[in-house]
């Protein structure tokens, strides 16, 4: 296992990169969707045209919401100082349990670092809520799974 600071720093940087990649991807998809909607010309089949425009509008709204969420995730990650450590699970903690490793940061999902896998989770997620304020050797249960905290960094 790498030293504590490098694990947290690399994990934090990887999450920021994943968030940024998601933002760029969503911006590109949104731009393409808007261009497609703008290029659509009024056809003689009026109802089909209106249905197509309505579907394009719904897709644009969905993409805009996803982009907003991705921007919020990046903003939340930017507020975390990965060099701070402690014994209690807080925002920015890396938590090792008997059922997996977690990074209390934002809803990014699975993040692989060398030989270890971490799940970047939000403090507002069900498991995040249970982990907050816990310490090493404490236990909690989620979906009939018993977790024991092995380490908090």
Per-residue pLDDT tens digits for 65-110: 999 999 999 999 999 999 888 899 999 999 999 999 999 999 999 9
pLDDT of residue 126: 94
Three-class DSSP category at 71: helix
Q: Rounded CA gap, 42 and 106, in Å? A: 43
Of 73 and 6, more confident: 73
Give 1's pLDDT tier (boundaries 50, 70, 90).
very low
3-state helix, strand, coil in the chain (%, to 5): 50, 20, 30
pLDDT digits (tens, 9 = 90+) for 26-50: 999 999 888 877 766 444 455 565 6
Compute how many other C-beta atoms are within 10 angstroms of the C-beta atom of residue 77: 23
To the nearest whole percent, how much of the chain has pLDDT over 90? 69
Q: What is the reported pLDDT for 20? A: 96
Mean residue pLDDT of the chain comes to 87
- pLDDT tens-digit profile of 142-151? 999 999 999 9
Edge-to-edge, what's the strand order for the sheet holding 109-113? 109-113, 116-121, 100-104, 94-97, 145-152, 139-142
pTM confidence score: 0.81
């Amino acid at each position: 296992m790498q030293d504590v600071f490098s694990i947290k720093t690399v994990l934090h940087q990887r999450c920021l990169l994943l968030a940024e990649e998601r933002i760029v991807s969503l911006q590109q998809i949104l731009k393409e969707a808007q261009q497609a909607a703008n290029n659509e010309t009024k056809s003689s089949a009026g109802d089909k045209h209106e249905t197509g425009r309505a579907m394009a509008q719904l897709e644009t709204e969905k993409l805009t919401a996803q982009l907003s969420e991705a921007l919020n995730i990046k903003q939340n990650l930017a507020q975390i100082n990965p060099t701070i450590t402690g014994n209690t699970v807080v925002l920015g903690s890396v938590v090792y349990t008997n059922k997996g490793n977690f990074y209390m940061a934002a809803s990014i999902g699975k993040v692989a670092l060398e030989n270890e896998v971490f799940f970047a989770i939000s403090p507002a997620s069900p498991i995040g809520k249970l982990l907050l304020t816990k310490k090493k050797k404490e236990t909690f249960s989620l979906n009939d799974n018993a977790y024991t905290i092995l380490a908090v960094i």
